[in-house]
Each structure stands twice: as C-alpha cells, then as structure tokens.
Chain A
Amino acid sequence: MALALGLGSLFNHSDNPNVQFSIDTSTESIRYTTTRRIEADEELCIFYGHKLWFHLAGQPSSAVALREKDGYENDDSLGGLDILQDIYCGSNPFKDGDPSDILQENELPFERIRVIPEDDSDDIDGAFRTILTWVVDVPDPRSITDLLKWMKSAGLETPELQHLKRIRRVDSLTTILLATASTSTPHSSSSPAPSIPIPANFLTSEPYTLEVPASAALTIPQVKAKSAMWPTIYAPKRKGEPEKWTRAKAAWAWDAVSTMIGAAEEAGKLGELPIASYVPASFVDSSNHGEMTQSFVAYDTRRTSAHPLRHSVMNVVRKIADWRASSSTPSLRSPDPELSDPTWVTSASSQIVSIENTLPPPAAQRNGSHYLLTSLTLFTTHEPCVMCSMALLHSRVKEIIVVVPMDKTGGCGGSSGKGTCVPRLKAVNHRFGIAGWKIDREMDGLTIDEDVDA
C-alpha cells in the first residue's frame, strides 16, 4: 500500500486518463508517465479506480471536490486507486469550494427517490380523483371573516386541502370548505370523521359533504374541469420538486453519515446488529434557521434488550420524544415509574453516542413541537422496516437518507424504489422524502442478513 502525498494528490480523475502510474517499491515512490502527447493547457488526469462515489459528469472538473484530499491508497491489482476508503476516512469532500454553491442533482452524495402516490398520474388527462369534504353554506357575507378565523384556530387549515380555495361563490351563495370527511388524526389511529361542530354564533347552514378534486390543476383545461367542481389552485409544476442543496449542506450530510456509520460499527462491536439512526442538529446557514439544536443518535438494541422491536429508528424517535418532554416541562416531570420500561432504561444509557449541544430549544419552539420530527432529516444505515417506516410517518419526519437498501424487509421502496413504500401509500396523510446514499465503498462493518427488519 502506498499513500500518495504532494504532487500525487493533485491529479483529477478521468475515464480516459492521459497519465498512468506505477508503484516502485524499491524507491518507495509512485512513477507517473504520460500515455499520449499532452497539448498546452491540457489537464493531466489519472484513473482513480472503478468504485467511484460520484457520478461522472464527463469533465474532469466534476471531481474537483477530490483535489484537496489528504492522500489515497493504492488498489494494487487493478492499477487503480481505491480512493473511496480514503475519501471516507479522510476529509469531507464538500468542505472545499464555495459553501453556498447550489449543487446539481448528480453532484449530491445521494440519490432521491420519488415519493408520489402510484395513482397521482391519473389526473394528467381527463378524469381526476376526488375526495369527500365537509362544506358549509354562509348566507351572510359578514360571517365569512370570522368563520375563516375560527377555522384557523380550530386547526382546520390542513395541508391536505392546500390545492383548493377555501371559498366558493356561486351567484350570491358563498360556500366554505371546512375539512376532509375521511379524517386524519394527527398522531394515532383514526376513524370515520365526525361532522364539524361550528360555533353557534355563525349563521351558516348545517355542514354537508361534497366531492372536491383531490389534487391541484396541472394544466389549464384541468383548471376549468376541476374548478367546475370546486375552485382549484393552478400548480403547473408538480409538487415534490426536489429541494436545492448547497455544498455546505452536503458537507453537513457527509459528516452525519460518518457519525452514523461510526455508531453502527460501534454497536456491532458490542454484539448488537450494526444498524444506527441519526438525527443531527438542523443544518444552519443564512437561509435555514436550525429547528433542532441538538443531535440524537441511537443504534439497534434488540439483542441486549431481548426486545425484537428495539430498532434504531424506534430508539432514536423515543430519545427525541423523551428529550422534548423533559425540556418542555422540566419542573413537572419526574421519572414516572410507569414510563420506565426496564429494558429501555438499561439500553438507553448506552445509546447516547454524542450529544452535541445541551441547550434547550427556545420557548417558542417547544410549544409547537407535538409532531416530533417535523422539518428534521433522519439518517439511517439500513432501510427502515415497515414498522419503523410508519413510525417515521407518524412522527412527521421531513426526509430520510438511507445507506443500505433492504429489499426483503424495508418499508421505503428498496433499492429499486418500487418495493413496499409506506410514505407512498395513497391514504396516508404525510409524505417524507427518501434518498439513497451513493457511496460505493466497502461497508463490511454494516453487513446484516437480508432477512432482518432494520
């Protein structure tokens, strides 16, 4: 093995390199030789090896992030360099360059899976899907403002109806859209929805149910067709347009993956399955204010706790919940014996791998935190099983980034993106983003049986 420093670390990669290299063990050096005539100003490139973590963009400059790396290892027989191990163990490649650069999709260290319900394409042409809602007629226009205010305070402004206008006027009759009639309960099992009780001081009709379009209008003809049923928002771009990531945020994700893999490998050494989940403190820059100031990591403890459901996702969700509960009502909450499942308490102490910041969140954030993973990104070494995928949906996680897909047991689409995918189910009331980490590297420390529920 040789480690190339100095000049050797400056070469970029090319699939069609103009420089080859060989190891001279007698002088402990690497010999670089041009393979063809080099034109003036032409960049000298070598071949790094086959296991590249980035997608080639055809230009050597696509590998610019590698330029400042510390060194690399020789991958002997192939004559390539196993750069991956080195990149991974070494510095964060996204720390170089302008941190505010928006990265192209193919420059990101992960690949996003589209999480759109199977039948969402139904309404591109002609027929469209509908949903059942509660509406109410308001004969007196003076009541409208108060009614809208009441709806807001009663929590009826749910995202599910964002694609619709709330008020319809036909001739002199005003109708207001109240809520969906097939209910969603925020955090638990649900039921058929009850009618909406409207305060008595509003002069309205009895609420009644009405079919309305299930999604926004994507085309002008759709605006007409859908608005004939109920006024519908025109949104020519499909929802779920991928969020832009800056180089600095990619660096944040890179560090998060490093921390998480470290935790999983640590778990493996302790006799647990090497599976870990990590919710880092929110990424903060000029346009992102961190919602979460603290990081949480947990690994799988099903073996030492003798509890088959102590998966890393469930463990990390529980840690965050416990932290939120304790930081929002610190004086009232003493440990309740009923809360303390002995197996949990035993394992909890060993799960804390790193807590980066112990400041409690500002008061304003505590109050609105009943959905505990709202706006947060969860990193996990292995695709979560169906139980954990739904736990993440209940917790309203914003997105998850997965290193190893679990095609037989996962609940987030598997390696093809076409397997069982809980957040893609039509009925569920929250969708979270899914991305697969792109590193192609030896991950022996993370190997688990493919039949395991992660």
Chain B
Amino acid sequence: MANPQHEKWMARAISMAEEALEANEVPVGCVFVRNGTIIAEARNRTNELRNATRHAELEAIDSILSDPLLTPQQIQHPLSETILYVTVEPCIMCASALRQTGIKEVFFGCENERFGGCGSVLGVNQELSHPNHPSYPAVGGYGREAAIMLLRRFYMTENQNAPVPKLKANRVLKTEIPKQADGKSDS
C-alpha cells in the first residue's frame, strides 16, 4: 500500500461502503477511475432493489455506460482504460462482468472466500480462458482491515435484530484480523 494514489481511491471506496452500511446493505463500495479521475462510485443496493445481483460494481458500470460523456460510442470493451477500486474482492458475477467490459485493472480490499471471482473461489479475471475478453490483474490488500471491519459491523448489527439484543459486555467487535495466508493480497 505504498502508493498514496491507491490509498486515496480506496478511501473513497470505503466511504461508499460506509454509506451502504448506514442503509442496511452489505457494506461494499467501489470507485471507477479513468485518467486520474473518479468517473463512477457506487455501493451495494441488493436489499433496496430486492435484487441480489445489484452489487456495487454493476451499479457503477451501469452509470458509466448510460452516460454519453463517459461512453460516447458502443465498443466491445468500454472500460479498457478504467481502473476499479473496490473494498471486497469482486464476486464471480462481477469479475465476469468486469472482464466482459474490458476493465484494465482491479484493486480490492479483502478477499471473498465464498464468492470471490478474482482467485479466491474462481479465477475469472485471469485463469479462466475466454475467446474474446482479455484477462486483467486483480490485486488485494488495499484497505483490507477497514473493509473487513465494515463487514463485521454489519453482521453485528444484523444479529442485534435477534429477540434479546443485549450483548454481553465482553462480546465486543473483534478487531484482530488474521493475515492473508498466502500473502498474495499484501502487495
């Protein structure tokens, strides 16, 4: 996390995730950057839209593609000069969507062991071969702890909806975060 640019963009993605948390959504946020400028930022809206596919990345891609200034003409890979910063590793669906739109590069916070499409569960970004869409690099570990803490806060909140929401004083939010085992995300 040496590059201050990465920190800056990821901080913005994290603030989008915080917005999601406030709206009772799974806290994942992202920003898309082109030529050093944020061209789209979004967060999860799965609950609001009753649609489990409305992840932050797809929300942002929709706004980019519907803006004629950002997408003046229909080309096969409209995101080939665009970089994504997202708090959690894109899921398999989003990883495929990013490949189909030709994303240049992805930086993410924490890995996604259940659905991760950039290596954790399936390597949609690179390992998987595709006849048309170029592969893209995806590197984790940027703002990883903040991303994990947001997710933990979300689950704590959700569980407080249980009938007896009072928590034992010693059952506080865990703050230790184990290091990623293979070190691949700490670049």
B39 located at the interface, meaning its Cβ lies under 8 Å from any Cβ of chain A in the complex: no
The one of A188, A306, A425 in contact with B52, judged by C-beta atoms closer than 8 angstroms, is A188
Cross-chain pair count, CB within 8 angstroms: 202
B113 touches A188 (CB 8 A): no
Using A306-B65, A342-B66 as known contacts, say yes or no to A190 and B112 having CB atoms under 8 A apart: yes
B37 located at the interface, meaning its Cβ lies under 8 Å from any Cβ of chain A in the complex: no
Contact with A along B39-54 (1 / 0, CB 8 A): 0000010110111111
- Docked Cα-Cα span, A389 to B121, in Å, equals 14
B96 touches A390 (CB 8 A): yes
The one of A188, A197, A387 in contact with B156, judged by C-beta atoms closer than 8 angstroms, is A197
B78 located at the interface, meaning its Cβ lies under 8 Å from any Cβ of chain A in the complex: yes
B50 touches A370 (CB 8 A): yes
The one of A185, A324, A393 in contact with B26, judged by C-beta atoms closer than 8 angstroms, is A185
The one of B61, B113, B160, B177 in contact with A190, judged by C-beta atoms closer than 8 angstroms, is B113
Q: Which of B97-130 contact A (CB under 8 A)?
A: 97, 100-101, 110, 112-115, 117, 120-122, 124, 128, 130
In whole Å, how far is B175's beta carbon from the nearest beta carbon of chain A? 11
A394 touches B52 (CB 8 A): yes
Contact with B along A151-188 (1 / 0, CB 8 A): 00110000000000000000000000000001111111
A150 touches B114 (CB 8 A): no
- Docked Cα-Cα span, A249 to B8, in Å, equals 56
Q: Which of A286-321 contact B (CB under 8 A)?
A: 306-309, 314, 317-318, 321
Contact with B along A410-444 (1 / 0, CB 8 A): 01000000001010010111000000000000000
Interface residue tally for chain A (C-beta within 8 Å): 68
In whole Å, how far is A277's beta carbon from the nearest beta carbon of chain B? 13
In the bound complex, residues from chain B placing their C-beta under 8 Å from that of A189 are: 26, 28, 44, 55, 88-91, 112, 115
A325 located at the interface, meaning its Cβ lies under 8 Å from any Cβ of chain B in the complex: yes
B115 touches A428 (CB 8 A): yes
B55 touches A150 (CB 8 A): no
In the bound complex, residues from chain A placing their C-beta under 8 Å from that of B2 are: none
A200 touches B166 (CB 8 A): yes
B167 located at the interface, meaning its Cβ lies under 8 Å from any Cβ of chain A in the complex: yes
The one of A183, A309, A390, A422 in contact with B155, judged by C-beta atoms closer than 8 angstroms, is A183
B50 touches A422 (CB 8 A): no
B50 touches A372 (CB 8 A): yes
Q: Which of A210-247 contact B (CB under 8 A)?
A: none
In whole Å, how far is B176's beta carbon from the nearest beta carbon of chain A? 11
The one of A371, A386, A451 in contact with B132, judged by C-beta atoms closer than 8 angstroms, is A451
A190 touches B65 (CB 8 A): no
- Docked Cα-Cα span, A212 to B174, in Å, equals 23
- Docked Cα-Cα span, A78 to B115, in Å, equals 51
Using A317-B51, A386-B124 as known contacts, say yes or no to A154 and B100 having CB atoms under 8 A apart: no
B168 touches A198 (CB 8 A): yes
Say which size band chain B's interface belongs to.
35 or more
A201 touches B124 (CB 8 A): no
A395 located at the interface, meaning its Cβ lies under 8 Å from any Cβ of chain B in the complex: yes
- Docked Cα-Cα span, A422 to B49, in Å, equals 24
In whole Å, how far is A403's beta carbon from the nearest beta carbon of chain B? 21
- Most B CB contacts (10 A, CB to CB) among A182, A328, A396, A411 go to A411
- Docked Cα-Cα span, A182 to B115, in Å, equals 12
- Docked Cα-Cα span, A396 to B174, in Å, equals 31
- Most B CB contacts (10 A, CB to CB) among A190, A307, A386 go to A190
Report the nearest B residue to A319, measured CB to CB. Answer: B51
A409 touches B124 (CB 8 A): no
In the bound complex, residues from chain B placing their C-beta under 8 Å from that of A450 are: 131
Using A182-B114, A372-B52 as known contacts, say yes or no to A197 and B160 having CB atoms under 8 A apart: yes
A334 located at the interface, meaning its Cβ lies under 8 Å from any Cβ of chain B in the complex: no
B52 touches A200 (CB 8 A): no
Contact with A along B52-93 (1 / 0, CB 8 A): 111100100111011000010010101000000000111111
B112 touches A191 (CB 8 A): yes
A31 located at the interface, meaning its Cβ lies under 8 Å from any Cβ of chain B in the complex: no
- Most A CB contacts (10 A, CB to CB) among B52, B65, B130 go to B52
A427 touches B159 (CB 8 A): no
Interface CB pairs A-B, < 8 A, 7: A153-B162, A154-B159, A190-B113, A194-B173, A197-B171, A370-B50, A427-B114
| 9 further interface pairs, Cβ-Cβ under 8 Å (given A150-B163, A189-B115, A388-B93) | A182-B113, A188-B91, A194-B152, A201-B166, A317-B53, A387-B100, A394-B115, A408-B131, A422-B122
